[in-house]
């Protein structure tokens, strides 16, 4: 990289996302997020995982969508490792986190590397939330669309 031509996103991610003292332990009670892009809103329930806790601590998050087959993904300033329960194949409604690239991934159909009747991600990913909303609505999302994730407060 030539200095002065732009700042790599990794430099922007240097801060720790666990800055709120109330989020120092595991999640307590059900927590929901709303993921919004254009006219589409998905409400997701967080799992009791380290990835979910770190994402919750970083909310609200704002990013730009990229599309890969029937899957959207977007970069977020959250760092965490791959969990033992990470999966390569996911189900519609699974909200995933690709730890190697700090990206949230939502699959709603086959990707370019999927076999018939599966949603195969590029690497095993942590499932940190699930939604019962219709994720096939994400077919209308295009690369470059803005996306937000925010906590749903009761």
Residue 57, helix vs strand vs coil: helix
Q: How far apart are CA 62 and CA 74, in angstroms?
A: 9
> Is the bond preceding 107 in cis, omega lying within 30 degrees of 0?
no
H/E stretch holding 147 reads strand 146-152
Each of the 154 residues of the chain gets a pLDDT tens digit; together they read 333 333 334 433 444 334 443 444 455 667 999 999 999 999 999 999 999 999 999 999 999 999 999 999 999 999 999 999 999 999 999 999 999 999 999 999 999 999 999 999 999 999 999 999 999 999 999 999 999 999 997 6
CA angle centred on 130, ends 125 and 134, rounded to 5°: 115
């Amino acid at each position: 990289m030539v200095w002065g031509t732009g700042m790599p996103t990794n430099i922007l991610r240097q801060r720790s996302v666990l800055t709120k003292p109330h989020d120092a332990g595991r999640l307590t009670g059900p927590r929901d997020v709303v993921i919004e892009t254009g006219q589409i809103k998905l409400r997701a329930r967080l799992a009791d995982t380290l990835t979910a806790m770190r994402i919750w601590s970083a909310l609200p998050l704002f990013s730009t969508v990229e599309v890969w087959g029937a899957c959207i993904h977007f970069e977020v300033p959250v760092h965490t490792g791959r969990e033992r329960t990470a999966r390569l194949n996911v189900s519609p409604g699974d909200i995933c986190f690709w730890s190697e690239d700090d990206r949230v991934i939502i699959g709603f159909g086959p990707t370019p590397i999927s076999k018939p009747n599966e949603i195969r991600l590029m690497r095993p990913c942590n499932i940190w939330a699930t939604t019962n909303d219709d994720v096939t609505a994400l077919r209308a999302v295009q690369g470059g669309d803005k996306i937000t994730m925010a906590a749903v407060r009761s």
